[in-house]
């Protein structure tokens, strides 16, 4: 699977903090799980499109 989270984008959000090397990878795993669960919800509702309400 491809990476969803980009370290430089995290740094743009938390301008005054450093970002440890393992943080983007851990966050990426959380986001992937969230996206997969949203996909399951969309399918359960008979849709093939992810929507904000699936989160």
User: What kind and span of H or E run contains 30?
Assistant: helix 23-44
What is the domain range of residue 36? 7-54
Q: Residue 45 domain-assigned?
A: yes
Q: Residue 48 domain-assigned?
A: yes
Q: pLDDT digit string (tens) for 1-19?
A: 678 998 899 999 999 999 9
Q: pLDDT digit string (tens) for 5-54?
A: 988 999 999 999 999 999 999 999 999 999 999 999 999 999 999 999 99
Which single residue is written with the structure tokens 């090397």?
21
In whole angstroms, give the CA distance from residue 44 to residue 40: 6
pLDDT at 3: 86
- Collapse the DSSP code of 4 into the 3-class scheme (helix H, G, I; strand E, B; otherwise coil) and give the result: coil
pLDDT at 1: 66
- Collapse the DSSP code of 28 into the 3-class scheme (helix H, G, I; strand E, B; otherwise coil) and give the result: helix
In whole angstroms, give the CA distance from residue 36 to residue 13: 24
Number of structural domains found in the chain:
1
Q: Residue 35 domain-assigned?
A: yes
């Amino acid at each position: 699977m491809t990476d969803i989270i980009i370290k430089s984008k995290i740094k743009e959000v938390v301008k005054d903090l450093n970002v440890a090397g393992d943080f983007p990878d851990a966050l990426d795993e959380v986001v992937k799980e969230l996206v997969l669960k949203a996909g399951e919800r969309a399918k359960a509702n008979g849709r093939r499109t992810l929507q904000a309400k699936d989160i």
